[in-house]
């Protein structure tokens, strides 16, 4: 191993230092062009890939489903769900036909490739939990003549079980907690072994790989689930398209495997250029026209200007909510029903104002309305708008002023159609549950109807009704008693009804109690499992990346049929508390990272905190994770030790190329547990208002002129 590393470092190998990017994944679903062993290669930043791989057959079939994400240019993370067939249960463990296991990997590129120097990466495989695939490694990779990449490394854990040449001490075998806790006591401890391999990019589509593996597959060999004849693996890959790759493997001289990888880059749009119609150009004023104030006493001209403005906004899916027109200034309030890039809605509104308002109106103020309340007001001069139409968008951003809409709200007259108004939608729904050891995927699908009635400023009655058509979510087995009241673990009972169910039925009041403050009060059937009342207050200045909030909830458990009844708070394992709530801090760290810390009491009465970190891209994609730790012990919580999950938000506009406010959110988490459970009330304030504030709008300001 030492000799191989020295050779890689010292050899005067030619080849461009392209940071060794790759869109290939190995059989574990992590970036790299080898088979079972890791490399120092990385995926392009923002790359999200799903790999399905399998080897063996019958009772010895092993499958791995991996979601990998390149968080930063040097940092990648992978989440894997495996089904390992043919293993023997460990002492004290339940019997099984297939061992289903969750694992989480992290890798970090310590050194980028140079002209002579190889790239060097440190990695943790299956870094928490039961450690079925637990292993750590240091690996170096060097490109050779553009088409070849040579890798060599040293591994611990599983990666140190064949060809061991040294040791760094004893490696504990006892799992920390009930799984899910980082197994830091094992990292880089125990036997060490060397591994390596070579990948060859034959053509743009075809690649080959060969490797020497340091994974002894000891547990599989003992159970006769795999015969390890040789330490060599061989693979061939074929790139069908930028989003689909196929792989085939020969493993250890005894097995054949295959893999399929679906990938996309969250930083790039699926439809280049966008499909929305081009905006109308800014209408420059004729010289001297700004001196004409005759329109101020002419009701017909005023009505024509307002009608023209409303029509131009309707053309773009923007609703004129209210307005105030003075001889030299105009302030309008808008409801954006179309543009997920809020800067684009403001830009199109400013163009419409330039084409419809009298020439004497020099100052434009545009306020975005959210749930009947003003959020951010953007003020700009008409002269700047005319002058900078063909300049970079950053110039009109610098010339614009952002204010709290609560300050500029005085004097605005609401349009006749502002209230009351009714909105509704009907469409399919899909709910699913993963990681049930008895059935890794359960689902429920059907039809959902949603409606909102906007009664008056800030007052909204809303509801959603679902009808299940097919599904098996009601078959989830209840976990054993945990010492906590069943606040989420009885979710199966809420999925057994074949009758129409009320997802939520609420009356909400949104308000602006003071500058920089937002409020919400929601009462009714708050979510599928709870009714009651939820009150929230948020402090969020329009130009700040920081926000603070507080939420207090009074809850009643709903009847299992999810219609109009409630049930007793008493459960077989405890009494559900009446009150819960949190204090929350939000911070936009920069580089697309948003963090949130919630501290308080959860549904089961346990006290603790939830930390969330999301990487949010300018196109609306978001990939993140959260973890909750409360005063509930790992033993009481059950399998997984504490609540955690991965969430992915996909904007519809990314896939269709047309602006849309609709998004799809997927949360991958362990089975529903009672510890760390939080109310799922709709309409929380931070997510409602943050996209309209300056820090977030500035990231997409390039859309102002689109």
Quick: pLDDT tens for 73-109.
999 999 999 988 888 776 655 556 788 888 999 999 9
Q: Is residue 279 part of a domain?
A: no
The answer on 156 and 30 residing in a single domain is: yes
Q: Is residue 284 part of a domain?
A: no
Of 136, 146, 91, 140, nearest to 120 by C-alpha is 140
The domain boundary residue, chosen from 403, 418, 433: 418
Q: Is residue 530 part of a domain?
A: yes
pLDDT confidence of 443, banded at 50, 70, 90?
A: confident
SS3 124: strand
Q: How many CB atoms within 10 Å of residue 453?
A: 16
The answer on 293 and 229 residing in a single domain is: no
At 197 the pLDDT is 97
pLDDT confidence of 6, banded at 50, 70, 90?
A: very low
**Which residues neighbour 398 within 8 Å (Cβ) at sequence distance 6 or greater?**
none
Of residues 334 and 654, the one with the higher pLDDT is: 334
The answer on 356 and 490 residing in a single domain is: no
The answer on 445 and 412 residing in a single domain is: no
Residue 438 scores a pLDDT above 90: no
Q: Is residue 678 part of a domain?
A: yes
Are 143 and 113 spatial neighbours (Cβ–Cβ below 8 Å)?
yes
Q: Is residue 639 part of a domain?
A: yes
DSSP annotation of 8 reads H
Give CA–CA dist 208/166, Å, rounded.
Answer: 31
At 632 the pLDDT is 87
At 179 the pLDDT is 66
List, for residues 253-277, the tens digit of each pLDDT value. Answer: 999 999 999 999 998 877 776 677 8
At 677 the pLDDT is 92
Residue 237 Rama label (left phi>0; alpha psi -120 to 50; beta): beta
SS3 105: strand
State which H helix or E strand residue 630 sits in: strand 622-630
Are 675 and 630 spatial neighbours (Cβ–Cβ below 8 Å)?
yes
Q: Is residue 142 part of a domain?
A: yes
Are 41 and 239 spatial neighbours (Cβ–Cβ below 8 Å)?
no
The answer on 437 and 403 residing in a single domain is: no
At 345 the pLDDT is 97
List, for residues 464-502, the tens digit of each pLDDT value. Answer: 999 999 887 777 666 666 678 999 888 888 888 889 999
Radius of gyration of the chain (CA): 29
Average pLDDT rounded to a whole number, residues 401-410: 92
Q: Is residue 272 part of a domain?
A: no
For 122, counting Cβ atoms within 10 Å of its Cβ (0-12 exposed, 13-18 middle, 19+ buried), the class is: middle
At 9 the pLDDT is 36
The domain boundary residue, chosen from 213, 232, 265: 265
The answer on 554 and 435 residing in a single domain is: yes
Range of the domain at 552: 421-695
SS3 72: coil
The answer on 547 and 469 residing in a single domain is: yes
Residue 339 scores a pLDDT above 60: yes
At 175 the pLDDT is 75
List, for residues 29-41, the tens digit of each pLDDT value. Answer: 999 999 999 999 9
Residue 14 scores a pLDDT above 50: no
The answer on 220 and 110 residing in a single domain is: yes
At 16 the pLDDT is 37
The distance in angstroms from the start CA to the end CA of the chain is 56
Q: Give φ, ψ of 269 to 5 degrees.
A: -90, 145
The answer on 401 and 465 residing in a single domain is: no
Residue 659 scores a pLDDT above 80: yes
At 688 the pLDDT is 95
The answer on 119 and 21 residing in a single domain is: yes
Q: Which of 169-183, 337-351, 574-588, 651-665 has the lowest mean pLDDT?
A: 169-183
Average pLDDT rounded to a whole number, residues 549-555: 98
In this prediction, what percent of the chain has a pLDDT beyond 90? 73
Of 698, 650, 654, nearest to 268 by C-alpha is 654
At 278 the pLDDT is 86
Pull the structure tokens for residue 329. 């200034």
Average pLDDT rounded to a whole number, residues 495-512: 94
Of residues 380 and 433, the one with the higher pLDDT is: 380
The answer on 80 and 119 residing in a single domain is: yes
The answer on 618 and 505 residing in a single domain is: yes
pLDDT confidence of 399, banded at 50, 70, 90?
A: very high
At 435 the pLDDT is 66
Q: pTM of this prediction?
A: 0.90
pLDDT confidence of 18, banded at 50, 70, 90?
A: low
Q: What is the CATH number of the domain that holds 548?
A: 2.40.160
List, for residues 586-645, the tens digit of each pLDDT value. Answer: 999 998 999 999 999 999 999 999 999 999 998 889 999 999 999 988 777 776 677 888
Q: Is residue 149 part of a domain?
A: yes
At 287 the pLDDT is 92
Residue 15 scores a pLDDT above 50: no
Give CA–CA dist 153/302, Å, rounded.
Answer: 76
pLDDT confidence of 13, banded at 50, 70, 90?
A: very low
Residue 11 scores a pLDDT above 70: no
Residue 685 scores a pLDDT above 80: yes
Total structural domains within the chain = 3
């Amino acid at each position: 191993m030492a000799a191989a590393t020295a050779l890689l470092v010292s050899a005067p190998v030619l080849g461009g230092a392209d940071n060794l990017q790759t869109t290939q994944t190995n059989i574990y679903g992590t970036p790299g062009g080898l088979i079972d062993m890791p490399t120092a290669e990385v995926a392009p930043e923002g790359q999200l890939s799903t790999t399905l791989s399998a080897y063996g057959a019958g009772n010895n079939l092993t499958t791995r489903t991996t979601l990998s994400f390149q968080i930063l240019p040097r940092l990648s993370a992978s989440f894997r769900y495996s089904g390992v067939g043919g293993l023997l249960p460990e002492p004290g463990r339940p019997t099984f036909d297939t061992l289903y296991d969750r694992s989480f990997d992290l890798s970090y590129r310590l050194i980028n490739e140079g002209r002579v120097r190889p790239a060097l990466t440190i990695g943790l495989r299956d870094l928490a939990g039961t450690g079925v695939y637990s292993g750590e490694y240091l690996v170096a990779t060097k490109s050779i003549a553009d088409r070849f990449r040579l890798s060599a490394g040293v591994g611990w854990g599983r990666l140190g079980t064949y060809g061991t040449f040294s040791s760094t001490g004893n490696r504990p075998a006892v799992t920390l907690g009930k799984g899910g806790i980082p197994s830091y006591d094992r990292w880089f401890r125990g036997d060490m072994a060397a591994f390596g391999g070579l990948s060859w990019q034959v053509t743009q589509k075809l690649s080959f790989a060969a490797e020497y593996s340091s994974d002894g597959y000891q547990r599989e060999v003992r159970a006769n689930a795999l015969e390890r004849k040789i330490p060599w693996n061989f693979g061939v890959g074929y790139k069908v398209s930028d989003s689909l790759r196929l792989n085939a493997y020969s493993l250890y001289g005894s097995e054949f495997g295959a893999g399929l990888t679906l990938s996309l880059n969250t930083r790039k749009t699926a439809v280049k250029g966008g499909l929305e119609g081009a905006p109308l150009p800014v209408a420059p004023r004729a010289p001297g026209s700004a001196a004409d104030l005759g329109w101020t006493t002419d009701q017909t001209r005023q009505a024509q200007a307002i009608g023209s403005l409303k029509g131009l906004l309707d053309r773009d899916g923007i609703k004129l909510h209210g307005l105030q027109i003075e001889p030299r200034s105009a302030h309008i309030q808008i409801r954006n029903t179309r543009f997920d890039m809020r800067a684009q809605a403001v830009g199109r509104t400013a163009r419409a104002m330039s084409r419809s308002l009298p020439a004497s109106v020099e100052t434009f103020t545009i306020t975005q309305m959210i749930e009947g309340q003003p959020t951010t007001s953007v003020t700009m001069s008409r002269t700047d708008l005319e002058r900078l139409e063909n300049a970079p968008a950053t110039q009109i951003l610098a010339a614009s002023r952002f204010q709290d809409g609560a300050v500029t709200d005085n004097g605005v007259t609401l349009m006749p159609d502002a209230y009351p108004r009714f909105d509704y939608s009907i469409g399919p729904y899909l709910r699913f549950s993963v990681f049930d050891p008895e059935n890794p995927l359960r689902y429920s699908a059907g039809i959902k109807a949603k409606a909102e009635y906007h009664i008056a400023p800030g007052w909204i009655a809303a509801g959603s009704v679902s009808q299940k058509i097919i599904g098996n979510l009601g078959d989830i087995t209840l976990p054993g008693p945990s010492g906590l009241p069943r606040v989420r673990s009885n979710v199966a009972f809420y999925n057994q009804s074949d009758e129409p169910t009320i997802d939520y039925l609420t009356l909400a009041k949104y308000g602006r109690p003071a500058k920089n403050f937002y409020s919400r009060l929601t009462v009714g059937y708050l979510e599928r499992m709870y009714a009651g009342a939820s009150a929230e207050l948020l402090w969020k200045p329009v130009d700040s990346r920081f926000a603070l909030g507080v939420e207090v909830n009074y809850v009643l458990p709903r009847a299992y049929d999810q219609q109009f009844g409630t049930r007793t708070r008493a459960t077989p394992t405890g009494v559900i508390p009446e009150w819960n709530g949190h204090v929350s801090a939000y911070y936009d760290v920069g580089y697309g990272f948003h963090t949130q810390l919630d501290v308080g009491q959860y549904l089961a009465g346990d006290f603790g905190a939830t930390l969330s970190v999301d990487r949010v891209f300018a196109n609306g994609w978001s990939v993140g994770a959260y973890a909750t730790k409360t005063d509930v012990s790992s033993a009481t919580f059950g399998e997984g030790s504490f609540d955690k999950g991965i969430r992915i938000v996909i904007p519809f506009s990314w896939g269709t190329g047309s602006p849309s406010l609709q998004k799809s959110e997927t949360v991958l988490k362990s089975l529903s547990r009672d510890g760390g459970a939080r109310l799922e009330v709709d309409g929380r304030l931070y997510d409602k208002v943050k996209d309209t504030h300056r820090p977030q709008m500035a990231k997409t300001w390039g859309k102002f002129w689109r």
